[in-house]
Amino acid sequence: MTPSRRSVLGAGGVIAASAVGSAAAAAASPSSSAEEAWLQGVLERYAGLGIKASGGPGDEASGVWLEEDLTRAGYACERQPFPIPYFDPVTVTLACGAARAEVIPQALVTPTGPGGVTGPLRRADRPGDLTGAIALIVLPYKRWGAIQDPQVARPVADALARGALAVVAITTGPTGEAIALNVPPDKPLFDRPVAILAPRDSQPFLAGAESGAAATLTVDGKGGRRTAWNLIARLDRKAAKTLIVSTPRSGWFGCAAERGSGLAVWLGLAHWMAKEGHGVNLEFIATSGHEYLYRGGEHYLQEKAPPPASTAIWVHIGASLAARDWHEFGPRLLPLPSADSQRVLTATPDVMEAVRAGFHGLAGLEAVYPADKAHAGGELVNVIDAGYHSAIGEYGGHRYFHTMGDDMRCTSGDLAAPVLEAYKRTLTACLK
């Protein structure tokens, strides 16, 4: 969504992150080291494929790689195509006097054209008419995820209702980076341009808003719809029931921890289950379209998924499954050797105790919640609504969630390995 890559940490932070990984690897047993190294390779492969926007080159390359890998493992693979929105930016900036910053155009994008739109900067949290102004919205501190969040949707709608020419939201969060927001795929939510500005870039523009200084927002690029596809990998053992394991592979940026850590565990489970069996058919799905309100998952659920009556368990592996935790020292983040605990595990009553036992001791995941509308998140909500009565689902949001900074500093094989082992223990117990 945005054309450049900027880093929060300096060289010292990167060196520290490497030292954390090295220390963990040195302490590992020989058997665990092999699995950690394999997972590390999967993570690096995924991260190396670049931006994972649905239907784009990185998403396509990820799907092809996984398809080839699982075909070699004995799965029969199918691609499930569907249309998805996209926007490839050319110029996405906010400028005021000498200040100039890149922004994230909020999907579904309402472009300004190459000349941009110009008007006085105004803060939207002040009363009064905003006709002809570029309204600035300072969001509270949060790990943001979706435009439908009332704390985002309401102030944006209010600013536009008061006549704003365009809206720029400042996503205050842990890293100081701009945070992309998931969005419905069907039509633009707003009829005027909306963009996201990084908190660390915001001060000159907030100062300009105090005097109503003129600014220009430019959101120019090429957009429309293109084809994305889900990967469906099946291993038919002629069993009465099928184990479904789903995970998204797409996202706004590189998504190393957000998507990659779950994808690595998903792929590890696919290889393990192909050998172990457990008396069930296997169906492993890597969906695209996640950032557009789980569009790929919805297509699979509606068109391809086995019916609830023939499904043993549906396991959904969601976001930030094995993301690094960080100490926050003001604007600085220092890496920790442990996993971020802001990951939530849910399960239906029939498998609740097995899940609790399997994930015992894993930060965040050891507190297993009922997989209901109050606690389930992501695609699993739709799975439960569709009548699948036996399910396990995870979701989370680490500090670099939905930012350009979600790279290999944010995850590692040694963080993913305990989660993979926990899933193995859990599924062994559930499928007895």
Q: Are strands 194-197 and 166-170 parallel, antiparallel or unpaired?
A: parallel
pLDDT at position 4 is 35
Within 8 A by CB and 6+ apart from 324, the residues are 17, 20, 257, 335, 336, 338, 339, 340, 398, 409, 410, 411, 412, 415
pLDDT at position 173 is 96
CATH number of 87-223, picked from 3.90.79.10, 3.10.129.10, 3.40.50.2300, 3.50.30.30: 3.50.30.30
pLDDT at position 277 is 76
Rounded distance between C-alpha atoms, residue 350 and residue 176, angstroms: 42
pLDDT in tens, 337-372: 999 999 999 999 999 999 999 999 999 999 999 998
pLDDT interval class at 27 (50, 70, 90): very low
pLDDT at position 227 is 98
CATH 3.40.630.10 in the chain: give the residue spans. 11-85+226-430
Does CATH place domain 11-85+226-430 in 3.40.630.10?
yes
70 pLDDT more than 80: yes
43-77 in b/e burial notation, b at 16+ Cβ within 10 A? bebbbebbbbbbbbebbbbbbebbbebbeebebeb
197 pLDDT more than 50: yes
Could you tell me the end-to-end alpha-carbon distance of the chain, in angstroms, rounded to an integer? 45
DSSP secondary structure letters along 401-419: TTSTT-SGGGB-HHHHHHH
Under 8 Å between Cβ of 78 and 232: yes
pLDDT at position 338 is 97
Return the higher-pLDDT residue of 62 and 23.
62
Rounded distance between C-alpha atoms, residue 396 and residue 403, angstroms: 14
Provide the 10 A C-beta neighbour count for residue 19.
12
3 pLDDT more than 80: no
pLDDT in tens, 149-166: 999 999 999 999 999 999
Within 8 A by CB and 6+ apart from 361, the residues are none
pLDDT at position 378 is 83
CATH 3.50.30.30 in the chain: give the residue spans. 87-223
Q: What is the residue-averaged pLDDT of the chain?
A: 92
Which helix (H) or strand (E) element contains residue 343?
Answer: strand 343-347
pLDDT at position 19 is 36
Phi, psi of 182 (to 5 degrees): -65, 155
Token couple for 391: 């399910």
137 pLDDT more than 60: yes
pLDDT interval class at 379 (50, 70, 90): confident
Place of tokens 């290999």: 408
- Lowest-confidence segment of 120-129, 233-242, 379-388 by average pLDDT: 379-388
The pTM score is 0.91
3-state secondary structure 228-243: EEEEEEEECCCCCCEE
pLDDT interval class at 25 (50, 70, 90): very low
Task: State how far Cα 157 lies from the chain centre.
Answer: 25
pLDDT at position 260 is 98
pLDDT at position 24 is 38
pLDDT interval class at 331 (50, 70, 90): confident
Rounded distance between C-alpha atoms, residue 406 and residue 255, angstroms: 5
